[in-house]
Amino acid sequence: MFKRISIRQRIVLLTGFLVFLVVLTSSAIFYIGAREAAMQVGRERLLGLTGQLGTMFQQSAQTLQRTTHNAVDNEAIRTCLHSMGKDSVKESLRALSQLGADTLTVLVELFDSDGKLLINRGKLPASKFLMDSFWTRVPTEAGSTAVGSFYKAGDSLYYPIISTITDKEKLLGYVIRWRCLTATPKAIGQLSQLLGAGATLYFGNREKNIWTDMMKAVAGPPDVARLNQGTMNYSRPGSGRVLAAMQEVPDTKWLILVEFSEQKILETANRFIVWLLVAGVILVLLGIIVAWAMGRKITEPIKRLTVATEAMADGNYTEHVDVERQDELGKLALAFNKMAMNVQEARAMLERKVKERTLQLETSNKELEAFSYSVSHDLRAPLRIINGYTEIMSNDYATILGDEGKRMLDIVSYNAKRMGVLIDDLLNFSRLGRQEMTAEEVDMKATLESVIIEQMTNSRQEVDFRIGKLSNVKGDERLLRQVWMNLISNAIKYSSTRERSIIEVESETQGNEIQFCISDNGVGFDMTYAGKLFGVFQRLHKATEFEGTGIGLALVQRIIDRHGGRVWAESSRGEGARFYFSLPA
Amino acid sequence: MHNNQVEILFIEDNPYEAELAIHSLRKHRLANKLMHISDGEEALDFIFCRGKYEERRIIPAPRLILLDLKLPKIDGQEILRQLKSNEQTRLIPVVVLTSSGEEKDIIESYKLGVNSYIVKPVNFDSFAKAIVDLGFYWVILNQGPQQ
């Protein structure tokens, strides 16, 4: 299938493929680069932001710690603690209320050093938060305030700000200020501005068991998330892949997690790749069009050359190709024209030569023909005269001659006649060898039958002809007729001694030749001398036995030779003869 | 031979051919008034009554001229042409008796107006018969123009 694509199409395909390859590769490289760059920028921004936020929340936490501590670091609280909640209750409550003024503070509690609740003020019952493990994590250093982890209650998250109350280095108790982890719309707005689009802030506990986006509880980052170790990539169910950074907020038990949507980061790069691909497709199409147009410049001359060459192959040598260019195709065209001219000249010269030769041959043949004709007549004249005089002598001077004289005269006459026959035979033999042969379909059976009729007219011999199925052959009808004539006349002649002559004729196809066989029941011949059979004027019988000049078979051989066949014979004395000749199929 | 009594003028250069032909004709009594001339020029002199034969009268003309084409010096065709282009001799029947059977000789002779063209048979018997047939036909059977 690949072989049937034209050159032009190949050029187009190649160009298209190359451009496509280039576009694909460069697009891939650019895209990967752009992605990398975007991710890098994202990473840096993420880390920076996370750090910023960490610091920001740290400061908030610190502020909360300070305010909380200031609010409760007074005598009333201490007195209350000393008295186990009996004294200065009202003043303490007031102090606690002060803290409660903050909208987000839902509960402020005062505990003694053993964890027993003394007083509280707030909107929620205290017991909701306290677990056994709580107290193990409470700071014990005097004068310190800490911000604790998040705790879930209902749908909200709360975190404690724990302030230790001490008196002269002795731990008296704790004030725990519970705040709700929500943000005001204003704060969220500000945060959003800080974060930017595509970024999300999550808060979580150090234990990583609670996470929130400040509006609802969310799933935490996957287990692979590492703390304070640069950025991570993972997939958040429902949001897709994210780039994230996790960090402790110093001075608190919190963790912040900032997630950047990867899609947002790569947005520009992705837009970029789309444009790149569009440009790429346009380039490929452009490349194909240009290749198509350029291809024409190459294939057109080739087509013209092909047409001219085909004309040449068909025998028309006069076509030539217009040459306008000097590159490889131009050179080819020039060479072609030159070649065509040479071939044309050579052919013209050959034709001339052939005509000359043919003329020469024809002339030569004609001369030979005229020569043999005149020779035959010039040779026969004296023979005629010899015969004439011997005739007259024989008739008019019979008495003077006597029997013996007459006999001798007869011999002279006979030989003169024979010479005439020899001359005729020789001339015939020569002429038939020089004649032009035609090649046509010859009906051998019909030819043979007509020859038999001719030979048997005026013959009193009893001959039984048995003719089988004879194939048709390609050859010269006249010459082949001569062959039949000679062979049949021989068969008749040499079987004339029999009471009843039987002559059989058959044909057989053997390989790529057709063989004919004429067999008679005559006297046959001695195979020892078979080599002489087809010689000119050669005979295997005495003239007294059978008349003849010995030219018949030589003629047969000559004719069959010219047809490209063979002749041969088999016989044994007294048992007839079989003559064969073959002709190409 | 009396000039006026020539019935057959036989123009043949080969004496043996001539003798054989005359022998055959004589056998059938056709050679009584036969004149044999073996030279072309002499034959023309005879026909046109000049030179050796200036005393001969053209009329009466021979009843048949047997002409061989292969003559030395003057060619048989030339003699034929002169015979057939002369008003006085045009009507004399001319039979070419020659050994040449070539087409061009035949055509040329007929173009010149020959009355008959015979190729000498190679076989003597046939030759003798042909000669006799000729004699009988042209001298006895054929009706020539009255002089």
Residue A221 or residue A358, greater confidence: A358
Q: Is the pLDDT of residue A224 over 60?
A: no
What is the mean pLDDT of the segment spanning A12-24? 89
From the list A384, A389, A392, the residue facing B122 with the nearest CB is A384
CB contact under 8 Å between A387 and B128, yes or no, is no
- Lowest average pLDDT, out of A319-333, A346-360, B64-78, goes to A319-333
Model pTM? 0.47
- Strand locations in A240-303, DSSP E? 240-248, 254-261
Asked if B127's CB is within 8 angstroms of A384's CB, the reply is: yes
Q: Say whether residue B85 is in contact with chain A using an 8 A CB cutoff.
A: no
The answer, yes or no, to whether residue B114 has pLDDT greater than 90, is yes
**pLDDT(A249) > 90:** no
Residue A243 — pLDDT band, cuts 50, 70, 90? confident
Residues of A in contact with B122 (CB under 8 A): 380, 383-384, 420
- B100 close contact with A: CB closer than 8 A: yes
Angular region, A214: left φ>0, alpha ψ -120 to 50, beta rest = left
Mean pLDDT of chain B: 87
Residue A512 has pLDDT above 70, yes or no: yes
CB contact under 8 A, B123 and A378: no
Of B23, B121, B127, the CB nearest to A392: B23
Which is more confidently placed, B92 or A1? Answer: B92
User: What is the C-alpha to C-alpha distance for residues A417 and A413, in angstroms, rounded to an integer?
Assistant: 6
State the smallest CA–CA distance between residue A405 and chain B in angstroms: 20
Query: Please, which pLDDT band fits residue A137 given cuts at 50, 70 and 90?
Result: low
Q: Quickly count: other Cβ atoms within 10 Å of residue A505's Cβ.
A: 24
A35-49, A396-410, A426-440, B44-58: least confidently modelled range: A426-440
Nearest CB partner across the interface for B99, out of A377, A388, A420 = A377
A172-207 pLDDT per residue, tens: 777 888 888 777 778 778 888 888 877 888 888 777
Measured between alpha carbons, how far is residue A563 from residues A147, A409, A481, A582, A583 in Å?
Answer: 128, 45, 13, 9, 7
Question: Which residues in A have their CB inside 8 Å of a CB on B?
Answer: 370, 373-374, 377-378, 380-381, 383-385, 387-389, 391-392, 417, 420
Q: Which residues contact A42 (CB under 8 A, 6 or more apart)?
A: A243, A260, A265
Whether residue A492 contacts residue A461, with contact meaning beta carbons closer than 8 Å, is answered with: yes
pLDDT at residue A143 greater than cutoff 80:
no
Instruction: Work out the percent of chain A whose per-residue pLDDT is above 90.
Output: 14
Task: Using the predicted structure, report yes or no on whether residue A333 has a pLDDT greater than 90.
Answer: no
On the CB side of B59, CA atoms within 13 Å amount to 7
State whether residue B13 sits within 8 Å of chain A by CB. no
pLDDT the model gives residue B36: 94
- Please tell me the predicted confidence (pLDDT) of residue B1: 45
Q: What secondary structure letter does DSSP report for B3? A: G
Record: contact B20-A385, CB cut-off 8 A: yes
Partners of B16 on chain A (C-beta within 8 Å) are: 385, 388-389
Tell me the chain A residues in contact with residue B127 when contact means C-beta distances shorter than 8 Å. 384, 388
Residue B2 has pLDDT above 60, yes or no: no
B100: which chain A residues are within 8 Å (Cβ-Cβ)?
374, 377
| Axis crossing angle, helix A328-396 with helix B15-27, rounded to the nearest 10 | 50
- Give contacts of B17 with chain A, Cβ < 8 Å: 381, 384-385
Contact call for A381 and B123, based on CB within 8 A: no
Question: Using alpha carbons only, how large is chain B's radius of gyration in Å?
Answer: 14
* Model pLDDT, residue A124: 67
Which residues have a Cβ under 8 Å from the Cβ of A269 and sit 6 or more positions away?
A31, A34, A35, A37, A38
The confidence band for A135, taking pLDDT boundaries of 50, 70 and 90, is low
Q: How confident is the model at residue A450 (pLDDT cuts 50, 70, 90)?
A: very high
Question: Would you state the pLDDT for residue A478?
Answer: 87
The residue type at A494? Y
Calculate the average pLDDT of chain A.
83
Confidence of residue A297 (pLDDT cuts 50, 70, 90): confident
Q: Work out the number of other CB atoms within 10 angstroms of the CB of residue B125.
A: 12
* Distance separating alpha carbons of residues B7 and A483, to the nearest angstrom: 50
Query: Distance (Å, rounded) from C-alpha B45 to C-alpha A6?
Result: 94
Could you give the percent of chain B with pLDDT greater than 70? 96
**B94-98 β-sheet, strand order:** B34-37, B8-11, B64-67, B94-98, B116-119
Query: Which residue from A minimizes the CA distance to B99?
Result: A377
Label residue A423 by pLDDT band (50, 70, 90): confident
What's chain A's length in residues?
Answer: 585
* B10-39 pLDDT, tens digit each: 999 999 999 999 999 998 888 888 999 999
Whether the predicted pLDDT of A431 surpasses 80: no
**A263/A215: higher pLDDT:** A263
Decide if B123 touches A, using CB distance below 8 A.
Answer: yes
pLDDT at A582 over 90: yes
Residue A132 has pLDDT above 60, yes or no: no
Q: How many CB pairs under 8 A join A and B?
A: 45
Tell whether the model's pLDDT for residue A556 goes beyond 70: yes
Q: What is the mean pLDDT of residues A140-149?
A: 68
Q: Do B123 and A391 touch (CB under 8 A)?
A: no
pLDDT tens by residue, B63-103: 899 999 988 888 899 999 999 999 889 999 999 988 877 78
- Summarize pLDDT for A465-511 with one digit per residue, the tens: 999 999 899 898 888 999 999 999 999 988 888 888 899 999 999 88
